Amino acid sequence: MRHAVLKSLGAAAAALMCGCAGPRRTAPIPAPPPAFLASRPRASSCPLVIGVLIDGWHGGLILPVRELGPLGPLLPRYPDERYSSFGWGNRRFYMSPHPTLADAVFALFSSPSAVLVHSAPTLHAWTSSGATVRWLCADQDEVWRMDAYLRRALGSPGGRPTSLGKGLQADSAFYASDERYDALHTCNTWTADALESAGYPIHDNGVIFSGQLERRIGRLPTCPDARRP
């Protein structure tokens, strides 16, 4: 049902693409402090990883928990968690157990958003539903910038994220985001922007659908031998 409504939302978003929408430029993310770099293993001998999740019409990020920087202590810990996924979307649609077409139409226009954090001990929590994960090599600087991007999305540069309640899956929760969602700035745009902000050679302009995101990340080298918890 959710994917069917998302398909309708995607068709409506395509109809709106004839409107003008300039590229969204977020504020630059500063370089990590020396203390953070000193605490991390050298990526040249022990690569870090960032996962890009493609689940139907939805794109998001997966990070091994022990690779999180300052964001880690701000989030609740779940038993046996090893990975956390981060997805962003329209708050009304994303948080509804049974979203309707009316919810999808509402999401086409500038509206409040939310971040879903889902923790799990293995990748099976995501891939069992047919989702795919593409692992990208990361160095300490990229990990820091990704962490900072997520903290900014959660509106928590100096405090804990604002909880909106439990998510629809076990060991998941919704958090408020200050960013606005609309038909031309979707979860896939947000994911591409996160990667761009982290320093990857990718740009978010023109990314609305998951297929567009998948093609962009398909040009990036995977990291099959990267260190994973």
Domain definitions of the chain by residue range: 49-217
The contacts of residue 21 (CB under 8 Å, 6+ apart) are 184
The H or E element spanning position 133 is strand 132-138
- Shortest CA distance to 213 belongs to which of 24, 23, 61? 61
Q: Could you tell me if residue 174 is left (phi over 0), alpha (psi between -120 and 50 degrees) or otherwise beta?
A: beta
Please give the pLDDT value at position 31.
67
| Rounded Cα gap, residues 229 and 214, in angstroms | 25
pLDDT tens profile 170-192: 889 999 998 999 999 999 999 99
Task: Give phi and psi for 185, each to the nearest 5.
Answer: -140, 85
User: Tell me, what DSSP letter sits at residue 182?
Assistant: B
Q: Give the range among 42-51, 83-92, 112-121, 161-170 with minimum mean pLDDT.
A: 42-51
The contacts of residue 37 (CB under 8 Å, 6+ apart) are 140, 141, 144
Please give the pLDDT value at position 186.
96
pLDDT tens profile 45-65: 456 788 999 999 999 999 888
* Contact between 199 and 187 (Cβ < 8 Å): no
| Rounded Cα gap, residues 161 and 35, in angstroms | 24
Burial (CB count within 10 angstroms: exposed 0-12, middle 13-18, buried 19+), residue 201: exposed
Please give the pLDDT value at position 228.
53
Quick one: pLDDT band at residue 39, thresholds 50, 70, 90? low
Between the alpha carbon of residue 100 and those of residues 11, 84, 91, 198, the distances in Å are 15, 27, 13, 34
Between the alpha carbon of residue 211 and those of residues 58, 59, 137, 175, the distances in Å are 9, 9, 21, 26
Structure tokens at 188: 């896939």
